[in-house]
């Protein structure tokens, strides 16, 4: 069930970093591996692009420390509302930095300086997302990455609240919605208060009450609406008390890697003619190194440097949050893969200490 070329060749990546040189470099590498890439030096630009049209990008890559807008707010919004996997990158490889990004929904965290292989393999995040969404191979073979090619051409409700008098029930058109969301994010989710939002939006006729109501809904959405963070914390709570290693239930299923459904990229996933391969890339499924950050259990890793070591361990699943059962499955899937357990989260006691830093060479 080799994946059609379209899969990889059509991956569209949005890159955000203030460092123009880095952007150029990334673009180059992206081209090399046949990604379509668009780069921005400002978060706000990226935001406008993403909000403008749907399904433009399959993956977002963003520097954690941006100055024009908060990267984490952006991260949260993109992962939760727009549902595009986001990889955060930064030179700060500290545990807290990594955890923050992962907590906020990042599917991966790249510690700078970046390596080519990171980019080469980043398509797998998209693949995983598709698997997770139960998109079958057949569907993808239609040559579609974005299964939802449908354009949002829903009837435009033209009764803009701007013209309508107060007191009327406000219909939040998609446009208004976008404007609202953008404003909230720009304002920083915590500091976004109805009045400030209202002022910033500057929409005639719109009242603070309208905005307040909208804000309440939006916050609810963020919370319940699949806040991975939430799930994660729940799971961890369970995991710490009973350190059972369940392989079926989603006991440890935090983050994007759904252990219950094990969306493992199969060995034969990568077609021999995989477009991302440089010419001389020999096709061996097993040459894809795997490494993980494991947060469901914990053990101060040998040294903080262990995190930094990650970056030379290129490849699939960087910093993935997974459970032990998942690791064994992966081990089975990728016999020669290198799986590292790096226990990150300080507040999750390790069930046992047998392999805090062990490298599984299978």
Partner DNA sequence: CTTCGTATCT
Partner DNA sequence: CAGATACGAA
Instruction: Tell me which residues touch DNA (CB under 7 A).
Output: 167-172, 193-196, 208-210, 212-217, 219
Q: How far apart are the first and last CA of the chain?
A: 24
Give the nearest distance from C-beta 199 to DNA in angstroms: 9
Residue whose tokens read 């030096």:
41
- Give 223 or 283: the residue with its C-beta nearer to DNA: 223
**Residue 205 vs 271, nearer CB to DNA:** 205
What the block records as the tokens of 138 is 């057949």
Smallest distance from DNA to CB 23, Å: 36
Rounded CA gap, 61 and 67, in Å? 16
- Residue closer to DNA by CB (options 36, 219) is 219
State the nearest-atom distance from the C-beta of 217 to DNA, in Å: 6
Instruction: Give the nearer residue to DNA in terms of CB position, either 171 or 244.
Output: 171
CB 329, CB 302: distance < 8 Å? no
Please state the closest distance from residue 220 (CB atom) to DNA, in A: 9
HEC per residue, 106-149:
CCEEEECCCCHHHHHHCHHHHHHHHHHCCCCHHHHHCCCCCCCC
Residue 37 C-beta: closest distance to DNA, Å: 33
Residue 221, both tokens: 């959405």
Longest C-alpha distance within the chain, in Å? 68
Question: Tokens 């300080």 appear where?
Answer: 346
Q: Which CB, 191 or 283, lies closer to DNA?
A: 191
Q: Which residue's CB is nearer to DNA, number 146 or number 213?
A: 213
Rounded to the nearest angstrom, the gap between the alpha carbon of residue 331 and the centroid of all alpha carbons in its chain is 23
Asked if 149 contacts 18 with a C-beta cutoff of 8 angstroms, the reply is no
Please say which residue, 51 or 264, places its beta carbon nearer to DNA: 51
Measured at the alpha carbon of residue 356, what is the angle toward residues 242 and 264, in degrees to the nearest 5?
75
**Which two three-digit tokens encode residue 202?**
């500057």
CB of residue 191 to DNA, shortest distance in Å: 9
Least Å from the CB of residue 206 to DNA: 9
Residue 203's SS3 state is: coil
Q: Residue 80 CB, nearest distance to DNA (Å)?
A: 15
Q: Distance of alpha carbon 240 from its chain centroid, rounded?
A: 25
Indicate the burial class of 167 (C-beta count within 10 angstroms; 0-12, 13-18, 19 or more): exposed
Tokens for 106, please give them.
């990042």
**In whole angstroms, what is the distance from residue 291 CA to residue 103 CA?**
18
What single DSSP character describes residue 81? I
How far apart CA 67 and CA 50 sit, in angstroms, is 19
The least distance separating DNA from the CB of residue 312, rounded to whole angstroms, comes to 44
* DSSP-based three-state secondary structure for 219: helix
Degrees, nearest 5: CA angle 271-277-283: 50
State both tokens at 231.
């799930």
Question: Which residue, 143 or 174, has its beta carbon nearer to DNA?
Answer: 174
Q: For residues 221 and 312, which CB has a smaller minimum distance to DNA in the complex?
A: 221
């Amino acid at each position: 069930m080799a994946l059609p070329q379209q899969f990889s060749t059509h991956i569209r990546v949005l890159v955000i970093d203030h460092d123009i040189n880095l952007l150029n470099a990334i673009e180059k590498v992206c081209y090399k591996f046949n990604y379509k890439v668009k780069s921005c030096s400002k978060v706000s630009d990226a935001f406008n692009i993403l909000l403008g049209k749907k399904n433009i990008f399959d993956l977002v890559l963003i520097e954690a420390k941006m100055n024009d807008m908060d990267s984490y707010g952006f991260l949260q919004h993109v992962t939760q509302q727009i549902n595009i996997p986001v990889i955060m990158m930064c030179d700060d490889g500290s545990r807290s930095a990594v955890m923050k990004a992962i907590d906020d929904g990042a599917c991966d965290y790249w510690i700078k300086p970046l390596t080519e292989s990171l980019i080469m393999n980043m398509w797998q995040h998209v693949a995983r997302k598709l698997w997770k969404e139960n998109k079958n191979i057949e569907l993808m073979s239609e040559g579609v990455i974005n299964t939802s090619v449908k354009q949002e051409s829903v009837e435009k409700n033209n009764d803009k609240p701007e013209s309508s008098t107060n007191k009327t029930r406000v219909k939040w058109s998609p446009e208004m919605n976008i404007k609202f969301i953008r404003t909230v994010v720009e304002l920083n989710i915590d500091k976004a208060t109805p009045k400030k939002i209202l002022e910033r939006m500057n929409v005639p006729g719109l009242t603070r009450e309208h905005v307040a109501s909208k804000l309440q809904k939006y916050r609810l959405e963020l919370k319940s609406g699949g806040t991975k963070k939430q799930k994660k914390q729940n799971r961890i709570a369970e995991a710490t008390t009973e350190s059972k290693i369940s392989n079926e239930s989603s006991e440890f299923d935090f983050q994007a890697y759904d252990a219950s459904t094990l969306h493992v990229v199969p060995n034969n996933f990568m077609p021999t003619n995989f477009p991302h391969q440089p010419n001389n890339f020999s096709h061996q499924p097993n040459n894809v190194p795997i490494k993980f950050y494991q947060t469901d259990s914990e053990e101060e890793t040998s040294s903080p440097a262990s995190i930094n070591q990650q970056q030379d361990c290129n490849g699939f699943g960087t910093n993935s949050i997974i459970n032990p059962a998942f690791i064994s499955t992966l081990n089975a899937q990728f016999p020669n893969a290198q799986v590292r357990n790096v226990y990150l989260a300080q507040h999750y006691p390790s069930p046992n200490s047998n392999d805090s830093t062990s490298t599984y060479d299978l």
